[in-house]
Amino acid sequence: LSELRPWLSGGTAATAGGGGSTGGGAGAEKVGRVRCSRRVWVLLGSLALVFLTSLFFTISLRGGIGFNYLEPPGWEESRRVKLVPNYVGAHRLSPADTSQQKTCACSHCVGDPGISDWFDENYEPDISPVWTRDNIQLPSDVYYWWVMLQPQFKPHSIKQVLRKLFQVIPGRSPYGSWDPGRCLRCAVVGNSGNLRGSGYGATIDEHNYIMRINLAPTVGYEEDAGSHTTHHFMYPESAKNLAANVSFVLVPFKTLDLVWITSALSTGTIRFTYAPVKQFLRVDKDKVQIFNPAFFKYIHDRWTKHNGRYPSTGMLVLFFALHVCDEVNVFGFGADSRGNWHHYWEENRYSGEFRKTGVHDADYEAQIIQLLAKAGKITVFPGK
């Protein structure tokens, strides 16, 4: 406007005054217009240059559109990769392309990201499956959910009970950080009748960790169920003595279960909960672990999605393995070929009762297992 103002005022004066000859006024007006036109174009060009320079600078700061540029070291925050966890000071990897990063030396690794969006969205590698001295305090929502699993039992003070228990057992997680050079292969062995006649025994025994549930006898069933065990998951009412090299993993449903395990490993004062329980338990105290209620609720919230009152023990053990192992193979889950749900060591004419109790949703849990297999996170051996 400052450039145009002299021309506008000059033109107006010539027209209004009417002085001088007509030819002279017309020439002066023409020269003024040419000069003004040049100034306008110079001004517009300068404004366009400033605008384009600002636009280019803004785009560069935001990452560019179709441009390749080098970022200074540390400019972008490292992305966390979901890995088999180390519960205290987990080692993290932050490569530029996590989708191609192997987290173990197995052919299929549980921790490898970018294979299944469904799995990656629900899998939380940092939550510890084991209740330890380091995570003794439960979040309030976890505590109230857990104590209501069996509300007929008056809860004890968790801190006091666990402090006494951790004077008897180590109270630490034995599971270290993942190692890209390691292939920790785990067999989760359920109790389904489909194990009978399967001939899986030798295959099961080849694994680094072999996890069994509740009674799960092996003597006399070695050909189909294997003979080795590294982890045995039980609750007080199903507990039995174990060999010295086997980890007893208590699945607690109430604070009384914690009082019982402390007693069973020391004074022997508790003999009954809602059923008779072992007064003394012969297991390796240094290998006793306690299933974490926070992990219990995580499975209920993220994976079984509140189908059933709470997940079955089989589900708890399966996801325990998915958080401590590199490769997970599943045996003895589901019904046999005739639709029976009996255990491999017995004939049960009430073979469908597990599906009717309403405590666990067997059909939904079967769908979860199928999805995990489809995602390449587990391999299911169907049995007979």
Give me the residues paired with residue 329 across strands: 187, 379
- Tokens read off for 235: 């609750």
Q: How many other C-beta atoms lie within 10 A of the C-beta of residue 233?
A: 23
Residues 6+ apart with CB under 8 A from 151: none
pLDDT score recorded for residue 363 = 87
Rounded-to-integer distance, Cα 243 and Cα 260, Å:
20
CATH number of 117-381: 3.90.1480.20
pLDDT band at 312 (very low <50, low <70, confident <90, very high): very high
Dihedrals φ, ψ of 267, to 5°? -85, -25
Give me the residues paired with residue 211 across strands: 188, 231
- Per the CB < 8 A criterion, the answer to whether 331 and 190 are in contact is yes
Catalytic: which of 310, 323, 343, 344?
Answer: 310
pLDDT band at 67 (very low <50, low <70, confident <90, very high): very low
Predicted confidence (pLDDT) per residue in 234-283, tens digit: 999 999 999 999 999 999 999 999 999 999 999 999 999 999 999 999 99
pLDDT score recorded for residue 101 = 78
User: Is a pLDDT exceeding 90 seen at residue 23?
Assistant: no
Predicted confidence (pLDDT) per residue in 164-219, tens digit: 999 999 999 999 777 889 999 999 999 999 999 999 999 999 999 999 999 999 99
- Which of 33-47, 104-118, 138-152, 298-312 has the lowest average pLDDT? 33-47
With tokens 């769908």, the residue in question is 367
pLDDT band at 33 (very low <50, low <70, confident <90, very high): low
pTM for the full model? 0.73
- Per the CB < 8 A criterion, the answer to whether 179 and 326 are in contact is no
Half-sphere exposure of 167 (CA within 13 A, CB side): 9
pLDDT band at 377 (very low <50, low <70, confident <90, very high): very high
Question: Does 300 participate in catalysis according to the annotation?
Answer: no
Catalytic: which of 228, 231, 300, 360?
Answer: 360
Question: Does 344 participate in catalysis according to the annotation?
Answer: no
pLDDT score recorded for residue 13 = 37
DSSP element (H, E) containing 329: strand 327-331
